[in-house]
Structure 1
């Protein structure tokens, strides 16, 4: 059982981890951030600024922040561990939790993709591991801005598995809406559909709002979603309805003319003008992206189900090329990304 007295470890002090942890610290929750490098050092020196699309702009003073790069310090007293590392760090974080975390701690995956919670469960036998999903976009301040700031740039909530008494009440604070769901696997697949756009933001080097406002880019996203839905149908996976539109209608709405899309998809376009994607940030910083957990998950499922994924494969190839070149987001146009006549 979780309560307001519980200690919460943020296992991955990046954009999502700092936003979630920052909101809870501002609400008086006992938070310890686990991370490394510039972000942890920046929080230690100057605190953390937490803002959002709804107009909140708050600061956690440095003296009120517990941030460390020592996993033993962060994990040994934690009642709840929120895993917010990128997918590529899942196994390493699981090893750290196994080595230093309490056996009775509740572990919650707040990561992209559809299998990170399963990977944590496999590496942490006998422990309580819950699936979670963050439904909003968070962006970091530019390098050098003081204090370090995380900004929720879109609407949305956090969804987690049911089953742990008091956990929703512990995590649900001002600026961070949390909801318990009994269908988290279906939620993950539904979120994956829209996360297929992360790569298009990265390849285009455009802010998310501008990219989504362009029918040509939305057509490529719609083609990727068509492929994903076909693979899911063949595999017997039914994505959850997590927004105003049923997942099956997404491709049709995305292909609407710009003016009509703008009228019907106001929630989708309620985005900070400068918001981009975490994959864009990864390319900007020369890091490995989560393409294998997003488009890669669709491609793997399609191979098992016997369906085709040419658009997802094309996007994957371009992102991997950008990763290899390490020149940042390549700034491609929609024609260069599509390259499959008749698909968009």
Structure 2
């Protein structure tokens, strides 16, 4: 019998992951907002990536729900909601899921698994993360425009899921130190607000030195904080994390020569924070830059660049600018 998987929060990441698992033979159900449920009911679910994957699941073969009660029989529940919704979702899950169900967090930020575990003390809760970007298109289409893997805490369930990801070619790994992995991913995700404030595609943004200098400033502060906290950093790109600020600071022609893998991005790719602002949703800036700021405070360190970016994103959430040129943004962050 196929593994029964429930996707809680079927937005861009949830729909992509759920469809990839279904390709491998998992019996996948999706909990989604009514808007998404209506779209896939009409058009089905299509996933694609920059490597050439293009797979469509017809509406008749999809199970989308708007009531969390539909997750009661799931053996594995994968949570992909925004970090700000984790606590409420955890409380709802505690009322309905099977006592033996395993819960996995595939979310941005570093503390979501702990929030889920607190609400579900008798369940196994596994931390996880996704290193690639997924952009929601039209007619139920979700496109992975950047490279990266799914990483889940080492466990028997993670090994079982690995087999289901093979059909879609989705890179998959397990790891036994997810705290380190999640903070390492957060370092990369510090580009999310820079991209959101630029108003342009990821590839275009990362090709311009002024925007990269903004990201380098955020990463330098984060690396200093993580060093004080004694949190080791995983190598998640071709370049070690500690070298990244220096690489980002190189002139454009040098960067493009030595960092080709970083620019192996679909031109349409945008950050999830850009998508949140585009759709009028609250962003996850508190669970990205805010985490750096709060951890720094614990060790007597300030993170002024991250604080300024947090303020600019909060202004954008209220309708403020999100079309800054690179030099403009760098000046604001450096002030």
Same fold (TM over 0.5): yes
Q: How far apart, in 2, do the equivalents of 1:336 and 1:123 lie?
A: 44
CA distance in 1, matches of 2:326, 2:238: 27
Provide the rounded CA distance (Å) in 1 between the counterparts of 2:327 and 2:310.
16
- Residue in 2 that maps onto 1:98: 94
CA distance in 2 between partners of 1:167 and 1:275 (Å): 30
1:135-192 superposed Cα distances (whole Å, 9 cap, x missing partner): 1000010xxx33x100010111100001225433344232322211112110111110
1:82 Cα deviation after fit: 0.6
Match of 1:193 in 2: 187
Correspondence list, 1:119-134, <5 A = 119-134=115-130
1:287-335 per-residue CA deviation (whole Å, 9 max, x = no partner) reads: 100000000000001111111211111111100011112x6x6201223
Q: Which of 17, 22, 25 in structure 2 is aligned with 1:20?
A: 17
DSSP-derived class of the 1:268 partner: helix
Q: How many angstroms apart in 1 are the aligned matches of 2:329 and 2:294?
A: 21
1:106-144 CA deviation, whole Å, 9 max, x = no partner?
Answer: 100000011111111111112100000101000010xxx
The match for 2:206 among 208, 212, 223 is 212
Q: TM-score, normalised by structure 2?
A: 0.96
1:29 to 26, 29, 47: 26
Determine if the alignment matches structure 1 residue 7 to structure 2 residue 1. Answer: no
Tell me how far apart the structure 2 counterparts of residues 25 and 310 of structure 1 sit (CA, whole Å): 44
Q: Is the 8 A contact 1:204 1:333 kept in 2?
A: yes
Cα distance in 2 for partners of 1:211, 1:153 equals 14
Give the Cα–Cα distance (whole angstroms) in 2 for the partners of residues 72 and 170 of structure 1.
Answer: 28
Contact 1:49 1:150 in 2 (8 A): yes
**Mapped partners of 1:119, 1:273: distance in 2:** 35
2:290 counterpart residue number: 296
CA–CA distance in 2 between the matches of 1:27 and 1:164? 17
Shift of 1:27: 2.5
The match for 1:338 among 302, 324, 330 is: 330
Q: What does 1:259-274 align with in structure 2 at a 5 Å threshold? A: 259-274=253-268
Match runs of 1:167-182 below 5 Å:
167-173=160-166, 174-182=168-176
Give the match for residue 44 of structure 1.
41
Q: Which residue of 2 aligns with 1:163?
A: 155
The Cα of 1:340 is off from its aligned counterpart by 5.6
TM-fit CA distance, 1:8: 0.3
* Whole-angstrom distance in 1 between the partners of 2:30 and 2:213: 40
Q: 1:62 aligned to 59, 62, 68, which one?
A: 59
Q: Distance in 1 between the 2:37 and 2:130 partners?
A: 22
CA distance in 1, matches of 2:238, 2:327: 30
Unaligned runs of 5+ in 1: none
C-alpha distance in 2 between matches for 1:243 and 1:19: 22
Question: Could you state the TM-score of these two structures normalised by the residue count of structure 1?
Answer: 0.93
- Is structure 2 residue 222 aligned with structure 1 residue 228? yes
Aligned residues: 333
